[in-house]
A and B are shown apart, each in its own frame.
Chain A
């Protein structure tokens, strides 16, 4: 790890550790994270950002998952990136993003000198806390970033299992030209959905690292039958399996991060999100088994992680969704195309890792 990356992660880690003491205070978390400039981590220098390598910027998102950060840093990073790509002002405070279901994209039409957008954005994260909500639609073979004002939207508020705000938005509104900006061809609605899945992979990997730590520590402290339960082989074997799931989730998330600029990112992120989601379920089952009844309480910290993980594995495409998308590609290549498919995806294309 080079110096700038470790400096960034050290600084962010110290802040996240401090904010861990108030896990429900999203406003404070938002403010402190913004003060450090972290929401700009994926933005280039010309737009006020840091010009960090993508892998470094996204490492902060994994760290946020590891510390169960109360603020949606990942969403803000990605939203700011899109604002910069579209040549719009970076949101000083709180941008967030929303995605349409891949099967029912938004419709965007030109009406007079304005735009008209129609469709649904289900479970949009942190809308009520945001100054701007960005999403992507396509019109006349051109991707466009929509800058939505949260106050103007028909919204049904809700939360995910982890009490993180998730709002169903129904769009049927006119937009001024400055709220509809051109995006490059590669940055379509599908790109946004994939990138959301990538954020969740990072958060899952981070949270599982903490779940492993907590569970190993607890097993070392909890005494039954006269010794710590960590001394029981049955528990050791279970903790080993938990570790393998945390490790494969981290590896899969790394694969997704490396795919950020890769033209074949769809298949790589599909594999990563499917694998991370599965790892989350398997790891949590063991973490709860080892913790026993205390892990089922609201008071004990494990639930901060387990409820997030159970939510994140569903968001931006569940295992079933991504497995089907990946399986479709594998089956299309046929039996003799399987191995070439796997190996092609395993080697990066020119420039894919910048």
Chain B
């Protein structure tokens, strides 16, 4: 039999009481935040909020105390993340550092890197962006051309990174690049560098998304001198490292809760309507959410145990993107969007925001086709 099993998700009373603590904090912290602000989900940027979260000890929640972490369980972290997302907290500033850059440094970074960076991340003072995609390298990550030429005292970096979310507000980038001129060795010739974005020769240009918002950037490196100690992990081991980074990126609640606020405002709009169509549609979404959340929490348990749930994470993200994308469509089946009703202004605002965002959900963090390719590999087909 093909083994697609998702073990029973771990549970603890401690995590559930932590949930109450997080809810209390967010109720105060987010009072007055509008539904339109909340539906931004993990794209909402607020450095002040991230600092206050850091003061609670809630960034790098699972990390060792010596690096500013709180040494709490992966399960508590899962609870924290889903509560932040469900409340529509503006988490973008610290999100990438907390989700993948910090864990990457913890695993592969030098002692000096860990000491210099991780405590600042946990205080909500140090933000990261991802340096993977390039103009000619999207899904085919190994086609990256940005070249860090090894020289005596470090590297000289030339190249361009693209779609760099919040690159214009980040302090550091984890740069995936080539460190060998041998292009035959697509995987072995790559490394990861910790890039201080204030270095001379780095130009960050905005790319406005279709809604007019500025999240994306183009980051150009022109003869940027990077010190030798910026190397993360081993020279030439970039491919393996970046794959492990992606497992952190693909299974969390951020992969199915992006349009939760559309559903919340939809339910508000449906109040007082007593019809089967509403019940069936809302019940169907709830059934999907409950089932998917179970799988996602199961993956959190596997990560906690140090397992490598690449296949399971891809399954969660593929199903999650479908659900996130489907919610606005279902809402449009239930509410006549040709007749915007002033009484439901919040609903229409979150819906219109979401409609413009949902195409990205099956692109970011691995396209639908790439994920299905990973699943097919898990089935032994490739």
Contacts and interface: CB of A to CB of B under 8 A. Distances in A.
A115 B295 CA distance: 48
Interface stretch (A22-30, A116-124, A323-331): A323-331
Given A347-B11, A348-B11, A254 B1 contact: no
B271 A335 contact: yes
Q: Interface extent on A, as a size class?
A: 35 or more
Contact of A251 (B1, B271, B291, B380): B291
B283 A323 contact: yes
Contacts of A239: 376, 379, 381
Contacts of B141: none
**Considering the complex of A and B, which 9 residue pairs feature the smallest CB-CB distances, nearest first?**
A327-B283, A327-B279, A323-B283, A240-B372, A335-B268, A326-B283, A240-B375, A236-B376, A271-B287
A252 interface: yes
Q: Which of B264, B290, B382 has the most CB of A within 10 A?
A: B290
B356 interface: no
A341 B284 CA distance: 15
Nearest to A241: B372
A275 B318 CA distance: 16
A327 B282 contact: yes
Contact of A331 (B1, B11, B278, B318): B278
B260 to A, nearest CB: 7
A330 B1 contact: no
30 contacts: A66-B1, A216-B380, A231-B381, A236-B372, A237-B372, A237-B373, A240-B318, A243-B378, A247-B6, A250-B6, A255-B290, A258-B8, A271-B286, A271-B287, A272-B287, A319-B284, A322-B283, A322-B287, A327-B280, A327-B281, A327-B283, A327-B284, A327-B286, A330-B267, A331-B282, A334-B267, A338-B263, A339-B260, A342-B286, A346-B293
A162 B31 CA distance: 56
Given A244-B318, A254-B8, A347 B16 contact: yes
A232 to B, nearest CB: 10
Interface string B350-375: 00000000000000000001011101
Interface of B: 1-2, 4-6, 8, 11, 16, 19, 82, 86, 260, 263-265, 267-268, 270-271, 276, 278-284, 286-295, 297-298, 312, 315, 318-319, 369, 371-373, 375-376, 378-382
Q: Is the interface of A mostly helix, strand, loop or mixed?
A: helix
B292 A248 contact: yes
A30 B138 CA distance: 57
A79 interface: no
Contacts of A58: none
A291 B338 CA distance: 43
Given A251-B6, A271-B290, A236 B264 contact: no
B13 to A, nearest CB: 9
Given A213-B2, A335-B267, A338-B264, 20 more contacts: A213-B1, A216-B381, A220-B381, A236-B376, A240-B376, A243-B315, A248-B295, A252-B287, A268-B290, A271-B291, A322-B283, A323-B279, A324-B279, A326-B283, A326-B287, A327-B281, A328-B279, A331-B271, A335-B271, A346-B293
Contacts of B295: 247-248, 251
Contacts of A71: none
A70 B339 CA distance: 55
